[in-house]
Structure 1
Amino acid sequence: MAHEHHHHSPGQAPEADIVGEEYWDSRYRESGKVWSGDANAVLARQAEGLAPGRALDLGCGEGGDAVWLARKGWHVTGTDISGVALERAAAHAADAGVADLTEWQRHDLAESFPAGRYDLVSACFLHTFGEFPRERILRRAAAAVAPGGILLVVGHAGWAPWQEDRPKVAFPTPDEVVAQLELPVGAWEVLLAEEHERAQNQPDGRPGTRTDNAVKVRRLA
């Protein structure tokens, strides 16, 4: 069973038959708060100048990106495979005073996908272990973008240098992501397709640097 997961680096490889809702609910229950609650820096940078509309956050985790967008005036649908994560995301939105601008849907994106068209569809760190139809999911994400809207795909370029356990996970390049989207010629504009470095603390607390990448495309009206 495949899984989508938000701004997360896969670590210890789970058993293949438990990579689903139960596995990720368990991972979230291990800690009172898994993520910082802040938005991904690339999302914040790339969405800062956009006029607020309807947004879809794929693999929203505990809602950091969705709440940031809602604070900017977006109406946001956040989806994740983990019901535990979604409960925390809803609480985060309520605490931030944006509950009325957010809704939360549980989806295993390998099996189902939110309905509707959106002015911004964000897929940040949509990586997982084992078999996962990432390319098909991202093409479906592109199909959910309204005319004039944006699809933003952010991913890791590879494992962090300090990660020793490296199970099989796909880390496509920006150009590979663009190719995998199979965008019709003339119907889309590629605004960004590049790698970038960012600071990330290592497990022992020491500062580190890892390479990520981002693809931003606009559906032409």
Structure 2
Amino acid sequence: MSTDAEWDARYFAAPEGMFSGNVNGTLAVEVADLAPGTALDIGCGEGADAIWLARAGWDVTGLDVSAVAVQRAEGAARAAGVDVRWLVGDFATTELDPFDLVTTHYPALEKTPDRTVLRALAAAVTPGGTLLYVGHAPLEREAALARGFDPDGYVLPKDVSAFLDDRWEIEVAETRPRPGGAPHGSAFTHDDVLRARRLR
């Protein structure tokens, strides 16, 4: 399990930034037909997705366990001239009002026997709202284990899809190439995309 201190250490080890600062292409594609409203970016990192959403007219909250990441995101938002509400915390235990859009890309959200994360995801979306959950692909378990990461211990798009009941409509559930291609040095060339709309 990665703690907030461990995530802080990862960001400290990349003083020039862990990520490109560009929006995840799948987010831009999947929200293109949505009317802006309130949005939650889970695992917001250094803030690129949240800032992109704010520029597009969304009222955005960015949440991450790493205070270092959130501090960088705050600075990036100021530089971009947009307002975003930034929170440091664990999504599974942070009390939040429902949002019109809940989005997360490549999250490290752990499975638990009581399915806390899954229940929190469902509760975080307002009726009529959208959940966008995007994972890495291909996700080969043996290769991941060799890097010290067991994907079976984390919530994947397929787990979210299986959890959602008849109050939801699955609009997208597919694996497809990452828009713009994989980042330099990344083995993940595709995205595992789940987009669901809450009906009630």
Same fold judged by TM-score > 0.5?
Answer: yes
The letter for the 2-side match of 1:149 is G
Tell me, yes or no, if structure 1 residue 177 matches structure 2 residue 160. Answer: yes
Is this contact kept in 1: 2:111–2:155, CA < 8 A? no
Q: What are structure 2's unaligned runs of at least 5 residues? A: none
Is this contact kept in 1: 2:168–2:198, CA < 8 A? yes
Q: Displacement of 1:31 after TM fit?
A: 1.4
Alignment of 1:103-182 (within 5 A): 103-110=85-92, 112-127=93-108, 132-133=111-112, 135-157=115-137, 158-159=139-140, 165=147, 167-170=149-152, 174-179=157-162, 182=163
**Corresponding residue for residue 9 of structure 2:** 26
Query: Against the structure 1 CA distance between its residues 83 and 49, is the aligned structure 2 distance closer, same or farther, given a 3 Å change threshold?
Result: same
Q: What are structure 1's unaligned runs of at least 5 residues? A: 3-18
Q: Deviations over 1:21-49 (max 9, x none)?
A: 11111110111211111111111100112
**What TM-score, normalized by structure 1, do the two folds share?**
0.77
Query: Against the structure 1 CA distance between its residues 173 and 115, is the aligned structure 2 distance closer, same or farther, given a 3 Å change threshold?
Result: closer
Computed over aligned residues only, the root mean square deviation of the Cα atoms, in angstroms, reads 2.6
Q: Displacement of 1:133 after TM fit?
A: 3.6
Identity of aligned residues (%): 40
Q: Deviations over 1:57-112 (max 9, x none)?
A: 1110000110000000101011000000000011111111102xx111111234x1
Alignment of 1:62-77 (within 5 A): 62-77=46-61
Q: Displacement of 1:174 after TM fit?
A: 4.7
Is this contact kept in 1: 2:136–2:188, CA < 8 A? no
**Corresponding residue for residue 193 of structure 2:** 214
The letter for the 2-side match of 1:218 is R
**Count of residues in correspondence between the two structures:** 193
**Corresponding residue for residue 194 of structure 1:** 174
Bigger helix fraction: 2
